[in-house]
Amino acid sequence: MYCRRILSGLILLISLQASSESRIVDNLSKAIRYQTISHQNLNAIDYGAFLNFHQFLETTYPRVHSQLKKKIIADYSLVYIWQGNNRALPPVLFDSHYDVVPIEPGTEVDWEYAPFAGIVADGYLWGRGALDDKASVISTLEAMEALLAEGYAPERTMVFSFGHDEEIGGRDGAANIAAYLKNQGLNFEYVVGEGGHGCPWTSNVARKPTGNDCSGRKKLCNANA
């Protein structure tokens, strides 16, 4: 059930034409305005934008932040744990990231709309991170918030990880997230993430090989939720 809700949230965001009247689209638009840019030169990163993005999430999704266990990893990555009713069931992990790649200097004029304006125009939402990967972060949180409002209680524990440095390899965020989850004794039935060519950090936490099953661009999972 929950996996279907995540799918529905993502489809609403990126498969249908954007509407300025949509609260979900508006929240994604706001998320894009936070310039959470990863640079290979770590000294060039404005970590204040990352912390401001955290505050935006806390304000926008109050139920998630009051009812789920939250852990900050390596200062900027986020993990949320939603305890299930049946502790005998292995948990599942939904993984995404909120950092984006820089705008190449000199290409700003090539953008039809400013990359961090989060403009809704011509039936689309424009901006850096609209697909990779803030759409996954926001659709996941929208589904979580909606389910909590309904009083939904999952059977199995669900874990949500939002990395802060995936675009530069995830060695600070994803690697430490994996170490934390392993130390918590969490052994996942399956992982749903951005994927594409396998998920390099999931071998430490998944019960079975994941490979392209964790493909967030299609948001597919081949196991029952």
Catalytic residues: 99, 166
Strands 92-97 and 190-192: parallel
Q: If you write DSSP's letter for every residue of 34-85 in order, what string do you get?
A: S--B--SSGGG--HHHHHHHHHHHHHH-HHHHHHSEEEEETTTEEEEEE--S
Strand-pairing partners, residue 206, are 188
Task: Give dist(CA 193, CA 95) in Å, integer.
Answer: 5
Task: Give dist(CA 94, CA 159) in Å, integer.
Answer: 6
Task: Give dist(CA 157, CA 82) in Å, integer.
Answer: 6
C-beta of residue 18 within 8 angstroms of C-beta of residue 81: no
Q: Half-sphere exposure (CA, 13 Å, Cβ side) for 42?
A: 6
Give me 199's structure tokens. Answer: 């998920």
How long a stretch of residues is the chain? Answer: 225
Helix then strand then coil, in percent of the chain rounded to 5, is 40, 15, 45
